[in-house]
Chains A and B, each alone.
Chain A
């Protein structure tokens, strides 16, 4: 369906309540009255012709006079995108109907909006703050936020939290065995806190508590220039730092309609894939550790170090690269780059069978991972679990194929897909992607054209007024950047739709009924990075 036909259809559904948004926008957008939102969303999701089954992004925004919520919807079948924008009538007690009954993944996103903007979602199953503590005063992302929150030095009791009280009250309080996993726990891969209730060894409920590394990156971005923002994005998903950088740069370039030199596009694509390989190698490492196979750690760290050495030679940094800048890349390639990358590909191809011999083929490993934590295709879409975890459930969600950026449209590669959706499929999918990435690099490495490595940009970038959305495929999935500009040198609002946040929402659903050891395997196989969740 064309954009116009889509808009016409929606306008016909709710006349008077919906208006086409004429603002500069990446996607067709509609302004919806708050009271008509839920009905319209249901219509858009359940109608065969529209079939918006994937909630790409849900963001709050402070428009000054009132507060808004913006929904980016996408249909996995038809591939079209629609933006719904709604507003609360006032900002003292703002309420909007929840859509978490239609898209399960919206539950976490709506909690984030409540936490940051104070918009209460009616009929939401669990309307609590998600990043800030219960005692936090004010809503940080509002433009008029001035509350001073004194530092509390006393320890918060482990059971004083509203969410945990809810868990404990399920049965007789003495019978529920509640365990805190984290924030300091070897297997949560960072400062994530999972509160789980157990029945013997079996996990009953899992309640993620985020926010231990919440730095308010979105708030900080509102006071930084676009070149400065690039460096902050490194700190979200630090394992795909380069790809995060790109997301913002691509968004700015799209808004300014800058033509990035072909050489820069090639360099970015190759670096993208190297980053993905490095990230998947780290996944292999940590996943083995989670299952008690400690030897994996050193094997893939050895290979990953080659990539980090290449990074270091290219741009000076090993982990948080900040190699990309709006318009291209910071510096030209090092003369050794091509030779070292080719050496690495040869080395990696030689090592991969070794990896499979050590871990993938092991009987204990297969017993621990097959048929554990099965995520169905429908749930993957509904939760918005993208990236390798989504593709392991049979969902073709690779942004490199859907919305190709850089030179991905010119590269010949197969999107890795598995349909089992269990831990083993998620693991094997990443191993498949290692090979895919190596193939992509191999196709490009000899073809890097000569020319400029960056387009000429103004020292102070002013993005023209409008709203822009850019998706990239990080090693963890669909990273979306939603940029609202009012023509200033700072963004008015910058929202990151991080893949990890949506993936985390699926964790409680996947773990129910499995053992503690499976919880570790499942969370390991989802491969989230905590700063990416918290931002």
Chain B
């Protein structure tokens, strides 16, 4: 059967309780989770950047990084060292407090969402019973960082980038939220672990057929837009606004923006995998016991990352194929197409649930 990580965590908890008072246990555990989370965060960031460079290179008939280490794998270490040692330039005339706080807000928002993701059974930092709602709440924090960063930089290009980003994220959050609600209605719970468990006899993408498919497509588009990824990367549109809201940042602060962008892409893909593709749940088909048992041999963590990286790859495919949209086209797409479709889809889903026309 699928291994339950909560056995490991509870035994660790018991071990600590036997040597420490409860308050200290809580503190030590929080610290452990923080360290594990940060490490995973950094490692994932590096993997994603490497993946982006390689995927982009192959789309563009290039080889990508291939000099430092085997297949260029050490390039990321070199880049990281470079970013860590670069000077933190603070231009004259910036709002020093907001300018310094903005990268942290962005990275914090990404980290908060990251904590709620279920990587495998029992393997998540915290399993809220309102998990989906929590994700919605914290992922909308990132726009605050973008707006502050753009505003505080005291540069006209960054202000335009920040304003674009503000309009974009606020708009697309509606579609993202509506697809969340559609899937929550189908699952009957907001708890992320509950949603995954409900897909034990088939992923929601298949069980919910038409409305789930519509919701999946809408979510892919809207979450790409919410993560400011191309073709929706208007906020940093390098051919128009140099680098958009983070033009004036350098060194580690820039690295934070950069890392957060990739992590947001990962988080978007991970949520899509959880809501539609069963998260860490192996591919199960109804009552095919033998088939399901074979699938269970592949560890859930492999399933989770496999699905997520597949979706990440799709997002990269978008970016390296499409030209960028214009701001009015971007808003038209959301307000005139995606949002009405999402509302209709929610209605459709409700009808289908009530009539029991799903698998």
Interface residues in chain A, defined as those with a beta carbon under 8 Å from any beta carbon in chain B: 177, 179, 185-187, 201, 288-295, 297-299, 302, 358-359, 362, 364-365, 367-368, 515-518, 520
Contacts and interface: CB of A to CB of B under 8 A. Distances in A.
B240 A517 contact: yes
A297 B322 contact: no
Contacts, number: 77
Contacts of A299: 60-61
A298 B62 CA distance: 8
B109 interface: no
B153 to A, nearest CB: 14
Nearest to A297: B60
Contacts of B248: none
B231 A187 contact: no
8 contacts: A186-B239, A186-B242, A201-B160, A201-B164, A292-B237, A295-B321, A368-B323, A520-B240
A448 B207 CA distance: 69
B239 A289 contact: yes
Which of A365, A367, A516, A520 is the most central at the interface, judged by chain B CB atoms within 10 Å of its CB? A516
By size class, the interface of chain B is: 20 to 34
A367 B240 contact: no
Contacts of A185: 242
B325 A368 contact: yes
B320 interface: yes
A151 B234 CA distance: 40
The listed residue with most B CB atoms (<10 A of its CB), out of A288, A290, A295, is: A295
A518 B242 contact: no
A294 B322 CA distance: 8
Interface stretch (B195-203, B254-262, B326-334, B343-351): B326-334
B316 to A, nearest CB: 11
Nearest to B61: A298
Contacts of A289: 239
Contact of A292 (B59, B231, B327, B329): B231
A289 B320 CA distance: 11
Given A201-B164, A299-B60, A518-B326, 19 more contacts: A179-B157, A186-B238, A201-B328, A292-B230, A292-B237, A292-B239, A292-B322, A293-B322, A294-B320, A295-B59, A297-B60, A359-B323, A364-B231, A365-B323, A368-B326, A515-B328, A517-B240, A517-B326, A520-B240
B246 to A, nearest CB: 15
Contact of B60 (A187, A291, A295, A518): A295
B60 A517 contact: no
Given A292-B239, A517-B240, A364 B62 contact: no
A367 B329 contact: yes
Contacts of A362: 322-323
Contacts of A179: 156-157
B324 interface: yes
Interface in B300-321: 320-321
A424 to B, nearest CB: 12
Interface in B60-86: 60-62
Summarize A's interface: helix, strand, loop or mixed.
helix
A439 to B, nearest CB: 27
Contact of B327 (A201, A288, A290, A365): A201
B233 interface: yes
Contacts of B322: 292-293, 362, 364
Given A179-B157, A368-B326, A520 B239 contact: yes
A515 B61 CA distance: 33
Interface in B105-138: none
A302 B62 CA distance: 10
Interface string B182-209: 0000000000000000000000000000
Contact of A517 (B157, B231, B237): B237
A175 to B, nearest CB: 14
A261 to B, nearest CB: 41
B61 to A, nearest CB: 6
B327 A294 contact: no
Contacts of B231: 292, 364
B43 to A, nearest CB: 27
Contacts of B326: 367-368, 515, 517-518
A292 B323 contact: yes
A164 B337 CA distance: 41
A292 B321 contact: no
Interface string B141-165: 0000000000000001100100010
B240 A288 contact: no
Contacts of B156: 177, 179
A364 B321 CA distance: 11
A290 B239 contact: yes
A516 B164 CA distance: 12
A364 B230 CA distance: 12
Contacts of A186: 238-239, 242
A412 to B, nearest CB: 35
A179 B160 CA distance: 11
Contacts of B164: 201
Contact of A516 (B61, B230, B240, B321): B240
Nearest to B332: A367
B60 A292 contact: no
B233 A292 contact: yes
A23 to B, nearest CB: 49
